[in-house]
Structure 1
Amino acid sequence: MNADAVPGLVAVLAVTVTTIAIGTWGLRFSRTTSDFFVASRTVNPRLNASAIGGEYLSAASFLGVAGLLLVGGAEMLWYPVGWTAGYLVLLVLVAAPLRRSGAYTLPDFAEARLGSTVVRSACSLLVVGVGWLYLLPQFQGAGLTLESAIGAPRWVGPLIVGVVVLVNVMSGGMRSITFVQAFQYWLKLTALLVPAMVLLVVWLDDGRPGSPSGSDGAWSVPVAGEGAIGLYTTYSLIIALFLGTMGLPHVVVRFYTNPDGRAARRTTLVVLGLLGLFYVWPPVFAALGRVYGRELVAEGHADVLVLELPRLMMSGLGGELLTGLVTAGAFAAFLSTASGLAIAVSGVITQDVTSRFVGERGPTASVAAAFRLAAVIAVSVPVLVALLSTNIGVARSVALAFAVAASTFCPLLMLGIWWRRLTDAGALAGLAAGGLGAGGAAVLNLVGVEGSGWGAALLAQPAAWSMPLAFATMVLVSLATPSRAPSHARRFLVRLHTPEVLEQAG
């Protein structure tokens, strides 16, 4: 083995062992069905916010943002701005009512709100689809990281991450993963903050020409250049990121773990602070990459800037130690996000599929067995796809997942929480319109279909047309089918919007 690979290998092993150890420790708290799905709804806001930060800051955040900024300049700041602002929208419109619904998953909410098993089944398919679309870049990023850090074949990363995630998810469910993800947020923050500060000092002492301020233009410049197509791409990306957050299954399921709606709101406020603190640092790496890492752009390796920059700027032991630290952070990013997604997808598969094939072993034992079988399915499929597919860029893959979520679950949640006249027929038609529109565009992107001009822009960033299409379809079909509005809708909405203080006083 090359001596340069030792720090990275040690970092990967340390993160893996620590992750399994914390997950095993959390296993002793997982005794009931509610523990597996929502940690018995007892997670306090600070712990939950750290866990959300751990699972939300994925490969796209840890590696992709710096790479995008290096290639595209400061206008690519729309990505971290959008990923953070999505939680503000979620805080104002969705967090507390969703927690008060009492559901375990998004399909549970849809069935409780609309009284339709057909809508529930459609939501289950979408949760699995969005979850797998989001899992794919995590496994691809793991392969990229291990290839860069220790010279391992690219297929090693997806297999290692898949196995570790399965061990943790199958052992203790949501209760166990909560502790793991909270630890991993602080590890990821440290893995960016410490190297960034050290490398800034190196740049100041180096005297090399060039400014780490980074961009030739303003941060608000369209992400695809000048003109109408660039403006469309920018606004479509903003729509996807701002409105897609509330529809991500691994984000939504976290709010079911809070004790009540007030705790869900407090959790979201803390999350906003934690995300803002994290996103200060990827632009620092990108700015330094403008001085020291231009060859990475020429070689098409911008996604590994965070991993390569310490070695480019520092020789000897110092550079290798910093490389080991950022490798640990990157690996934690893959593990934490993949774990959250696996929990969300496994929960849906358990309720709708595997619970039917597990024999009676007592209520808790049967659910645990069904959940573990579902976890194997939830993880294995995207691992296989990651092994067979080419890398299309971690940030781009995640942006497509946001577009699908914004075009399906965002309209369902917004109208389901705030509009009494939503019907099951309207919801189903809207989910189909948004899902086929944004999902079809995502599939075409993944298989490598390319175009030019407006066709390429509409395909690459579908949210600006697929999200309004889904909203309009849900509203129009609901208005055309008023007799299908559930009789309990008014009562259900009162429940969603009644603060716990009033319920206790009553």
Structure 2
Amino acid sequence: MISAAIVVVVLATLLIGARGVVAIRSTSDFLVASRRISPTLNAAAVSGEYLSAASFLGVAGLVVKDGIGALWYPVGFTAGYIAMLALVAAPMRRTGALTVPDFAEARLGSSGLRKLSAVVVLVIATLYLVPQFKAAGLVLTVAGGTPYWVGVVVAGAAVSITLALGGMRAATYVQAFQFGLKMLLFIVPAIWLVLTVSETTRSEALSPVEFTRFERRTPVEFRLDTELTITEPTAVTVAGGQPAVLAPGHYTALAGSEWVFEKGADVPSVAGGFAPGGDGWGRPLLDAGSGYPVLTTWSVLVATVLGTMGLPHIIVRFHTSPDGRGARRTASITVVLLSAFYLFPAVYGLLGTVLLPELFLSGGTDTVVVELPARVDSGWAGTFFTALLTAGAFAAFLATSLGLLLALSGAVSHDLLPGTTVRRLRFTTLLAAAIVVALALPAVHLDVGVLVTSAFAVAASTFCPLLVLGIWWPRLTARGAVVGIVVGLGSSAGVIAIDLFIGAPPGLAALLLGQPALWSVPLAFLTMVLVSLRGRPPAWANAAMLRLHLDETERSAHRE
């Protein structure tokens, strides 16, 4: 049943996307669907594109892993569109640009800035695409028992073929359809879960008890290398060996290994985390082991709110609107649609805290959504709703990947290489998908949440300052933009890479390196402003300001 659900989603993606094939005659058709998408359809497509694996699976998983404070993520995701509505949507549409690098060159007259911006697009798109494909592989593995690589390859093939055939128009139809599908397949199982679990479980979900003892013999398959601290003699079977009693002390569970804990065994503590249901877990702030929950929460909000404004696959969506007014309406409707969706991740997260708390140990909390139905009902109903949620999760991977792959292909074919053609765009789409699939295959043990948060932090530290200052400050210079982007990219992606591959000491350093948006975004803004003040803005800066902020109808009347 689960495999059939995935097949239906993939076939629907390809068939709906085929509607865009006949309309592809130019690069404008391929990249921005000839700027003829209505606000309602566009908002549905934006929402479908935005509700990625991080939204469909990740938020609920973060509630189990990090506690109630994880609900700040959807707050930031949705608030980002309010900021975009106020600051970016309409002016960006009025530029007539096809991509963010296009806007950079049109506004500041620098081909070097355009190429640098294209490189930033590649960084953001790759950081965001790899976890989408990885999540597709993991979900099929958990729900359907298929090898990890199958989900990665299927997702890559479906996305690249759809885009290569129909470009942005195909992506729009598919993403709008998949938004409706995701809403249906996310909300209906949530209601079923709430009605099916016992009244005791519902009460425990609202006031979880700290996870300190295993209530049943529980296998835990560790996705990441995990440091465990055992505080009392604990009966464990490690990696299929003989049962043994581990003495109190520190142990390392290697990624890919399975530990089976006996009923009544003490739950080990995990470095840098709170046990589900504990005091730290119930605090409405984010910590992530840094010891600075308020600063961590603010840093996540800065990354998600301002990062949304800088995501290249979201920005390009507003170029598909007929005019600036259509772009504003698109952003307004999107806020409403996202607000409705984000009411439900808490349901899965709270139920998962009670029914699947062991996922906290394994590093596999991002699969809690698709594992809950089988835990609640081991019969046909559990299988049926698992299939629905798996199909919805796969639709989330595909919808987001469509936009990201389109942004990546546009950056390569339209911004880095001269002489863009539709044929080159199609070939680049297929090649880019193959490269991302190759990167996702060995990424099975990487933390999806870290990569997605990194993409938001990079977008907030690079494109957000470029767009806000480029739209609202006439003194911005090309040199200021270049230096600011370089500083923002280095202070976000650079320090995150250090934290990911080398590691950071605990405490404040962990926060500054793992969640840098709180300081990297102000640093990028300040750099752009100070460097620009030492130079001279382009001669056409004031004219550019008028074009960005004067309504299209007023400009037409003025010309007449």
In the superposition, the TM-score normalised over structure 1's length comes to 0.93
Alignment correspondent of 2:258: none
> 1:33 deviation in Å?
2.5
Q: Which amino acid aligns with 1:301?
A: G
Does 2:554 correspond to 1:502? Answer: yes
SS in 2 for 1:408: helix
Matching of residues 486-497 of structure 1 within 5 Å = 486-497=538-549
Change (3 A) 1:446 1:120: same
Does 2:233 correspond to 1:239? Answer: no
Given that residues 66 and 288 in structure 2 are in contact (C-alpha distance below 8 angstroms), is that contact kept between their aligned partners in structure 1?
no
The Cα offsets for residues 113-148 of structure 1, whole Å up to 9 and x where unpaired, read as 000111111101001111111101101101110111
Which of the residues 396, 399, 417 maps onto 1:336?
Answer: 399
d(CA) in 2 for partners of 1:404 and 1:208? 39
Alignment correspondent of 2:247: none
d(CA) in 1 for partners of 2:316 and 2:369? 30
Q: Which amino acid aligns with 1:233?
A: T
Does 2:179 correspond to 1:168? Answer: no
Which of the residues 320, 333, 340 maps onto 1:277?
Answer: 340
d(CA) in 2 for partners of 1:111 and 1:330? 37
Given that residues 212 and 291 in structure 1 are in contact (C-alpha distance below 8 angstroms), is that contact kept between their aligned partners in structure 2?
no
d(CA) in 2 for partners of 1:223 and 1:159? 34
Which of the residues 290, 303, 316 maps onto 2:366?
Answer: 303
The Cα offsets for residues 275-325 of structure 1, whole Å up to 9 and x where unpaired, read as 011111111011111221122223332111000000000121111000000
Which of the residues 408, 429, 449 maps onto 1:375?
Answer: 429
d(CA) in 2 for partners of 1:416 and 1:220? 39
Gaps of 5+ in 2: 209-276
Alignment correspondent of 1:388: 442
Does 2:167 correspond to 1:115? Answer: no
d(CA) in 1 for partners of 2:181 and 2:30? 25
Given that residues 114 and 415 in structure 2 are in contact (C-alpha distance below 8 angstroms), is that contact kept between their aligned partners in structure 1?
no
> 1:258 deviation in Å?
0.1
Change (3 A) 1:387 1:227: closer
> 1:367 deviation in Å?
1.2
Alignment correspondent of 1:3: none
The Cα offsets for residues 1-33 of structure 1, whole Å up to 9 and x where unpaired, read as xxxxxx211111110111111111232233333
Alignment correspondent of 1:201: 195
Given that residues 373 and 383 in structure 2 are in contact (C-alpha distance below 8 angstroms), is that contact kept between their aligned partners in structure 1?
yes
> 1:212 deviation in Å?
3.6
SS in 1 for 2:475: coil
Which of the residues 291, 304, 327 maps onto 2:354?
Answer: 291
d(CA) in 2 for partners of 1:492 and 1:178? 29
Alignment correspondent of 2:468: 414
The Cα offsets for residues 186-224 of structure 1, whole Å up to 9 and x where unpaired, read as 111111100000111012467676234667679873300
Alignment correspondent of 1:474: 528
Does 2:45 correspond to 1:51? Answer: yes
Does 2:9 correspond to 1:15? Answer: yes
Alignment correspondent of 1:359: none
Alignment correspondent of 2:250: none
d(CA) in 2 for partners of 1:41 and 1:372? 19
Given that residues 161 and 334 in structure 1 are in contact (C-alpha distance below 8 angstroms), is that contact kept between their aligned partners in structure 2?
yes
SS in 2 for 1:315: coil
Q: Which amino acid aligns with 1:77?
A: L
d(CA) in 2 for partners of 1:33 and 1:370? 10
d(CA) in 2 for partners of 1:92 and 1:503? 21
Change (3 A) 1:231 1:207: closer
d(CA) in 1 for partners of 2:29 and 2:415? 19
d(CA) in 2 for partners of 1:424 and 1:208? 57
Given that residues 97 and 261 in structure 1 are in contact (C-alpha distance below 8 angstroms), is that contact kept between their aligned partners in structure 2?
yes
> 1:329 deviation in Å?
0.4
Alignment correspondent of 1:440: 494
Change (3 A) 1:220 1:269: farther
Alignment correspondent of 2:72: 78
SS in 2 for 1:123: helix
Change (3 A) 1:42 1:160: same
Change (3 A) 1:49 1:207: closer
CA RMSD in angstroms comes to 1.9
The Cα offsets for residues 45-71 of structure 1, whole Å up to 9 and x where unpaired, read as 000001001110000001100000112
Matching of residues 155-194 of structure 1 within 5 Å = 155-194=149-188
Deviates more, 1:327-336 or 1:284-293: 284-293
Change (3 A) 1:81 1:202: same
Given that residues 392 and 446 in structure 1 are in contact (C-alpha distance below 8 angstroms), is that contact kept between their aligned partners in structure 2?
no
Deviates more, 1:246-255 or 1:230-239: 230-239
d(CA) in 1 for partners of 2:449 and 2:72? 12
SS in 2 for 1:441: helix
d(CA) in 1 for partners of 2:438 and 2:557? 53
Change (3 A) 1:301 1:91: same
Alignment correspondent of 2:329: 266
SS in 2 for 1:155: helix
> 1:445 deviation in Å?
4.0
d(CA) in 1 for partners of 2:293 and 2:184? 35
- Which structure has the bigger radius of gyration? 2
Given that residues 289 and 507 in structure 2 are in contact (C-alpha distance below 8 angstroms), is that contact kept between their aligned partners in structure 1?
no
d(CA) in 2 for partners of 1:299 and 1:88? 36
**Higher relative strand content:** 2
Which of the residues 35, 40, 43 maps onto 1:41?
Answer: 35
d(CA) in 1 for partners of 2:505 and 2:357? 28
Alignment correspondent of 2:20: 26
Given that residues 290 and 506 in structure 2 are in contact (C-alpha distance below 8 angstroms), is that contact kept between their aligned partners in structure 1?
no
SS in 1 for 2:147: coil
d(CA) in 2 for partners of 1:197 and 1:234? 30
Alignment correspondent of 1:211: 205
Which of the residues 317, 340, 345 maps onto 2:408?
Answer: 345
d(CA) in 1 for partners of 2:437 and 2:290? 39
d(CA) in 2 for partners of 1:209 and 1:174? 46
d(CA) in 2 for partners of 1:459 and 1:500? 44
Gaps of 5+ in 1: 1-6, 357-365
The Cα offsets for residues 339-380 of structure 1, whole Å up to 9 and x where unpaired, read as 100111111111134555xxxxxxxxx711110122123222
d(CA) in 2 for partners of 1:317 and 1:453? 47
SS in 1 for 2:292: helix
Change (3 A) 1:177 1:226: closer
Given that residues 229 and 454 in structure 1 are in contact (C-alpha distance below 8 angstroms), is that contact kept between their aligned partners in structure 2?
yes
d(CA) in 2 for partners of 1:126 and 1:111? 14
